[in-house]
Structure formats: C-alpha cells, structure tokens
Chains A and B, each alone.
Chain A
Amino acid sequence: MSVLETPRIYFKGQVTWDPITSNNYNFNYDEDTGETIYPSVIDKVKKFRAQAITQVGTQGNWNPHGTHRVTFFDSAVCGFDVGAGTNTNDHFMNAAVNLQGMLVDLEPFGGISSQIFFDTMCFGVEGGYGIFASRTSRMHDRYINFARNSANSMIAGVASVVWQASFSKADGLSINAFDSFALQRLSDALKRDDVLGLTVRFNAYRTIYFDNPELTNKSPATQAAAKELIKKLNEGGFQPNPARSLLVGVIGLWREGEPPHEPGDRALIQDANSPLGSAWVRVDSASLVIDLSNSVPEVDKNLAKQDLGTLSIVAVEPTSQAVTNLGSLPYSQYDRSAYEATAGIVTVSISADAVQALTGQDIQIRNSQGDQLLAELPLRGIPATPNLYLDEGDQVTARFQVYQRGVPVSARIALQLYQTDAAGDPPSKVMQVTTDQNGGLTVPITAGAGSITAYVPSFNALDQPTNGINPQVNTYMYVRVRPADTSLAQLPPTWENVYVKVLANWNAMAPCMDNWLRLDDPVQVKAYAAILKRLTDPANFESFLFMPVTRDMSVGQRTLLYNFLDAPAVKSLLEAETETIPSFAELSRSMRRF
C-alpha cells in the first residue's frame, strides 16, 4: 500500500516557510474567538503592529511580516524505484518539483495541527515530462519529531515532520510520460481500478531561521539577528523573515482504503527512550519497505545521521513473544547519503514464509544490543478529517477508520476516544466507543462556542494520551469551532463597524496585506468588493488564495462584511474615523483589562 509500494519516485530540495507568527501567542490572539488582542484602544492597529515588532526581541515573534506562504525551491526529482531497486537513469530525473501554498495552523499556539492550503503541485513543466496534480485536499503535518536534531536548537529547528496529501484521478491528475520509463510505469499503475490517484509524502527537517544555520535559541548571535530584523521592520517596507527547511519526499500510489493525509501503513512507534522517531512499514511479497524519513536523528549541523550500528528487524508473536529475525539495516542504509537518495525509504528482502507469518505478528526495530527502538502498534485510528473547521451551531459527524497492521479493519473494535484542550494537554474527557463492523467510528459533534479541541483514539495503554498528545505516538483530529458572532451580523453595515469588528483583526495581524489591499481604506475595500466576496466565500475554503488565510472569520463577521460590500456606496458610511474613535463597547471592555 501507499508510497511504499512501487513504482515510486523520489525528490529532494528545500522549502521556505513564511507564516505570520504574531498569532502564535495568547497575548496577541484569542484562538477561541479568533480575535486580535490589541495593546490599546486608541490607534489599536498601529500599536499592535508596533508591538509585534518589539516582540521580535522580547517574545521570539520571529516573523510579524510573514505571508503564510510555503514555497518549494531547489527541489527536483532525484530517483525512482519500479520494483528493481533505486534507479537514477531516466529522462524524468532533475525535473523541478513545485509547490506553492499557505501554511496555516488550525491551533496557532502549537505546532501539531499545521496545514498547507494549495491549488496545484507540479513535477516537471507543462509540455514536457511531468506530473500535474490538482488539489484533492489540503496537506497536513503529523508525527512531528521533536528530537530529530538537537544540534539545531533554534525555534523548531530541532524537529522534523511528515507532510502528506493525495491527489485523486478524478480531480484532473495527469502524467506526461513520453519516453520516461519511471513515468510510464507510474502512469500504467495509475490505471488500476483500486488506485485512486497519487500520494505525495515529504519530510521537512533542518529548519533554519534568520537565514543563518548557526543560530541557537537565546544566543548572542540570535539576539543580534533579532535586532537587525527589528531595525528593518521599523524602517518600513515589506520585511518578511522566512524560515527554510530541507526536504526529502516520495510520490507513489494512493490506493482505495488508504488515508490521503497521513501514513496508514503499519506503524512502528517510538519507544520511550529510543533515539529513533516513528516509522512505517509495508510488507511486500518478498520484502519489507520501511519509511525512515522521520526517524533517524542527525547529530550535528552537517546532518550526519546518528550511527546506531546495524539495526535488526524482528517479528514478535504477540502471545508467545517469540522473536523471529527478519533482516538487518547496516548504517550505510540509513546514513545521510542513503537518506537523501531515497527519502529515507529502505527495502529489506525477506522470505515468503516470513511474509506469511507477519500477517499476525508485530514488527520491531532493535539496536545491536537487542534493545527495542521501534515497536509496532497494530491498531491505529485515523481521522477522515484530521483538521476540522466548524462554525458554532454546526452539527456534523466526524469519522475515524481503524486500521490493523496497515489494513482497514473488517470488524467491530472497542476503543477509547479522548478529548483534549487546544494545547493537547492531558485529556479532559474520555468516551468508550465501538466502531461499526468495518472499523469505522462515527463521532457526532455539535459545535458549541468558539473553541479548539482534539480527539485522540486509543486502543491500549501504549497509546493512551495520559500526558497529553504525543505526536510520535498518537493519531488525532483537531476541531476548531468559530464563534457565531450573531450580534455582529445584526450591526448596521457602516465602515466603522466593518473595520473595527472585522477587518481590523487582520489589518493588525497581517501587515503583508498592505501589499494587496489596504484593509483600512474603505474606498479600496469597496472597489474590490467582488474579489473580496469571492476570496472569502466558504465555497473556496480550500483555495490557496482564500481569505482570511487563517480561516478564522466567523459567520457573523462575514455577514457584516458582506452587508457592507453589498450596500450602495454611501459617502457618509465611508467617512467614519476608524483608528482614533473606539466604540463604547471597546471603551467599556478596555477598563476591565490591565
């Protein structure tokens, strides 16, 4: 199943991350209400922007002029495997891999609910060798590994993460193979009835900030870099400060029953003291294909992989605990060179008997001393919508599918479903639930007031989120409920109301918007009414250009905005002061804070 099946094509390169970071802090943003927290009532947007700049030095707010853009660069196809081992001899080699999207955290204060909203992903150029994929669904991150590279201790530089999205044949996926053997094989495989399309999985690692790989948290050099950024920001213009990561990735088949957005293969989960991050395995007719893209840590800034000696792969019979040796992985198969050549995917030949036995046994990876590093958790509950956005009052049914050793279960399974707060702290609630006869779990959700919560399925003590969500262990679904703000919808659609109650939130938080539309200019806003309505239309929620990019506008705010945009342009409505005259409600509320 999945990208671990052949044919598959490897790529590697770099990616820039340019999120606005001002909403990452609870002193700037209320993630329940989606509202900006202003430092003052008078000139609140101006002062918020100024404060955000100050926070570069005081609070680690490293990118107040971000744009949320994600851009692949220097990324190209670097190898393929059609079932006969890794090969680099093909016309498709070196084809550019392009992705441009928007990085958005469903839960902005943490880093385990990130998404990339995008429209297309391209391998190669139109008219030439290529794979052209229109979005079927957004890309999600999962399994963040906070121990990937302790030598790169700068913000999230220590971590790596798995990104995945799948592209349906029904959404216009196309391959121009010409005489490329790799593409021909992929194109042929795509024609099979049970192949839904293609899956792209990539691992982002070695993230650097301020364009300086030598920086570490709180070091004098980092403080100096922050000072330089503050100076630039204060001098004016548009001053983004994107981070960048290395990436290795793979594109392969997406078969029926496989989760589109995260690995659904057999899961080898990190042991508590293991240096290895979690991995995934597919058992073929004569081999094990192991995805170590997120597993083996680097030990320095030069990206040398930790040498754990020869790793052994074993099968453990669950009842008797009898151990069968399946094969081994010498360092040369997981060192940096191997990692970059095949996106961390390694293949180990095994006997047909072993393949048969593995249908009921757990796979483990052990070090040369026999210590368990990774152990299979046979049951996994994977959400159909890993990051779910709701509006207050919505009633929906969320769904999880239970997989056993990488295959959808065809039986009723009892499990516990935990509910945590936005931070993924120890659960506040647990439900005993049972799936249907096909391993499907439905979870009715009635969206209350604005809030963020997470749902975490658990099958036994090994994956209970008793200490909160462990992204190396747990699968989970995040749910963000936007408040209804019905009172806002009732307000007269004056410019003052629209600006203060709606647009000021993003005018403060997103100075980059000045490049495209002055949100504090009623004439411009009115002039772009048709475009604004199109970009904020919930029907375009998945689009690259959807506004607000943070997907936190409430129904009430949108109603008020549309009432203004639809109203005839009345001069008196447009002339109200906005920055200097707060509403009475704001004055009242401002006296309840300090």
Chain B
Amino acid sequence: MIRLELDQLSDVTDAQSMLQKAIGVEFGTLPPYLYALYSIRPGTNPQAEQLIKSVALQEMVHMCLASNILNALGGSPQLNPQKYPGPLPGDIGPDGTPLTLHIYPFSKQAMEQAMVIEQPEDPPDFPVRELMLAASPKRAVTIGQYYAALDNFLSTLPVTDWKPGRSQVVDNQFFPGQLFAINSYANAHKAIQEIVSEGEGSRQGTEYDPLDFQDDIAHYFRFGEIFYDKVLTKDNDPQGYTWGPERLGVDWSGAYPAITDPAEHDFSKDPPEAQAAQKACNQAYSAMIAALQRALNGEDGALGEAVRAMFDLRMAALHAFTVPLADGHTVAGPSFIYTPIPTGGNA
C-alpha cells in the first residue's frame, strides 16, 4: 500500500507543498499503467485494455485538477519525472519502507502492483478532523487520506488565498466534464472529492462503496477486475458486491514478451532497431513532459501539444513492443527516461 507522509499543515505554503507532492504521485502512476496498457497485443484483452486506459486518463485528469488547485493558491506546478524502479514521491510505506514501483508488462504482477497503488484504507481508521489537528508531526496515510487532510485544511483558508482564473486547465478541448477551473475552496473540494472517489471509491459508514461519484467503478476495483479476471458484480450479501461469477475475459498470454524495468536494461547490446525504438519512445515521453509542464502552468494550447506527444509516445511504444532485443525473443517498451528539451521550441 502507498503511504504518503503527512506533515502538519499550518499555512498556504504547506498546502502548496502537499499539492506538488500529489501532482508527483498522480503523474508517477502513469508510466507503470501505460507500460502495461501498451504491452497488450492488438486484438487481445479488450476489456482489460479499456479499464487500464480509463484509469490512466483519469490519472491525467487528477494531475491537472491538482495543478489547478495549486495554481489557484498561487503556486507553480512542476513535473519532476521520477526513475523506475523507484518509489512514488512522498511514499514512506506503511512500515517505513516505500513501495518500489516497477515497470511491468501486462500481467498479474502489474495489476497487483496497480491495486496496491490504489488500495484504500479499510476499515477507515483516521477521521479527517483528527488528521488536521494531529499533534504528531508526521503521519503515514493513504492517497485518499492524504487528499482528505488537504481538503480539510483548504477549507480553513481565507478567501483571499484563492486566486480565481489563474493558469487553469479546463475541458474546452479534452476530458469533457472532468476538468474544471478552481477558483475557490468549493471548486477545490469538488475536485478532491472526485479524485478520491475515482481512485478508491467512496466511504459509507465503515464500508467502502466501490463506485465513484459518477457510479462508475473506482480504480482499485477496476484493476481488481483484471487481477481476478472477474466482473465486480452487485450482490445481496452484506458486502454488497462480489468478484464474479462472470469473467472479465483476461488472457495473460496476450501480452508481448516484454522485459520488466526497461530503464535498467543496457540497450547498447541490442539491435539498432531496438535502440532506435527506445530513442523514439524517450523523445516522445520527454516532449510530452515538456508540453505538460507548460500546460499545467497555464500556457494556452500546450495541452494540445502534450496530447499530440502522448499519441506519439503511444505510436512509438506500440512499435517498440514489436522489435526484438538481442536475445531475439524479448522486447522492450518505453523506458520512460526523461531528457530535458531545450526551451523555446514546440514539443
């Protein structure tokens, strides 16, 4: 389970730091999810593909909403691409040991890791009010609890701390109905509610409802459907839902024979085609980050450049997964290695 370090919140700067960490967490989940997604062979696992894609897109939305809140509080979002394998920013783990995220191809292992990332606390053990007032300087909390504490603190900020209309990413081009401007605490509260419920579901009493605010299945349970190869189904038992009996239709053999953690692989010994494929992936990934960085700081049109780069990354990845490495059998998808792009040019 991911456990984020929760510092005591005393002023708007602390909230900005929390939001920056949240942006890193949201963005940090994308490479593992995208690697699993793109490693699915065309024509196999349509349901799993759709579920993983839907989560990845919502993580993008969450990152944009967290950035909108940060911008509304006068901050400036920064995308700091992390290295894989490695921990998510701010993860201290439930026992002091952070979870090392790996880049797995589509597999039970990949879905298990994804469930661990998205796992809610069950049963709830941490009332929100206590979070804010906690005397203990450091607490380890789930992503949902982290956002809950942030939300609670934001509710105490004076109206003057909110800067309406500052560098907001909205849904005029992409993600209709999901991206909206944060101009006040009410907007921020709505955004956080959506982020948490889409990730973990919603809490009802001492039990979790696996459905989010739009009655869609939360991320943890979407990955669970793939992991168990069962459709999460409403049931009359006390839990309210069961896994199955209907199968989702997962074919674990429908993945390319891709290596794990490609960033640790030495491609210099692989055929030139494989090296070129890696280069194309890393270029597209770097271009995407560069454009996103500008988009999250309010540059009009930059999100469109980031989306184009994301499609380029997808095309490069789909190709890379078909290019054999030196052993003639295995392949590698994107290593997600970021190389800064000189400023001044388009992504």
Contact = CB atoms under 8 A, between A and B. Distances in A.
A493 to B, nearest CB: 24
B308 A238 contact: yes
A237 B231 contact: no
A71 B233 contact: no
A178 interface: yes
A16 B175 CA distance: 10
Interface string B162-190: 00000000111110111000000000000
Contacts of A568: none
B271 interface: no
Contacts of B306: 237
B82 to A, nearest CB: 25
Contact of A516 (B211, B291, B311): B311
Interface string B260-294: 00000000000000000000000000000001000
B291 A237 contact: yes
B300 A228 contact: yes
Interface string A57-68: 000000001000
B304 interface: yes
A246 to B, nearest CB: 12
B304 A239 contact: yes
A134 interface: no
A238 B172 CA distance: 13
Nearest to A516: B311
B124 interface: no
Interface stretch (B21-29, B101-109, B214-222): B214-222
A239 B301 contact: yes
B interface, size bucket? 35 or more
Contact of A235 (B172, B233, B346): B346
B129 interface: no
Contacts of A71: 176
A12 B331 CA distance: 47
B215 A515 contact: no
A515 B176 CA distance: 19
Nearest to B347: A237
A566 to B, nearest CB: 19
A125 B215 contact: yes
B234 A127 contact: yes
A129 interface: yes
B343 to A, nearest CB: 15
Contacts of A237: 291, 301-302, 304-309, 346-347
Contacts of B347: 236-237
A236 B177 CA distance: 25
A14 interface: yes
A235 B302 CA distance: 9
B19 interface: no
Contacts of B241: 127
B42 interface: yes
B311 A232 contact: no
A94 interface: yes
B73 interface: no
Contacts of B319: 527
A96 interface: yes
B117 interface: no
B304 A232 contact: yes
A14 B214 contact: no
Interface in A30-84: 65, 71, 73-74, 76
B18 interface: no
A236 B211 CA distance: 38
B232 interface: yes
Contacts of B217: 125, 127
Nearest to A128: B234
Interface in B302-336: 302, 304-309, 311, 315, 319
B48 to A, nearest CB: 13
A236 B301 CA distance: 8
B173 A240 contact: yes
A256 interface: no
Nearest to B243: A127
15 contacts: A125-B211, A127-B233, A128-B211, A178-B234, A211-B172, A231-B301, A232-B301, A236-B347, A237-B301, A237-B309, A237-B346, A239-B301, A239-B304, A517-B315, A531-B42
Interface of A: 14, 16, 65, 71, 73-74, 76, 94-96, 124-129, 176, 178, 210-211, 228, 231-232, 235-242, 244, 514-517, 527, 531
Given A236-B347, A531-B42, 9 more contacts: A125-B217, A127-B246, A176-B234, A210-B172, A237-B305, A237-B306, A238-B305, A241-B173, A515-B307
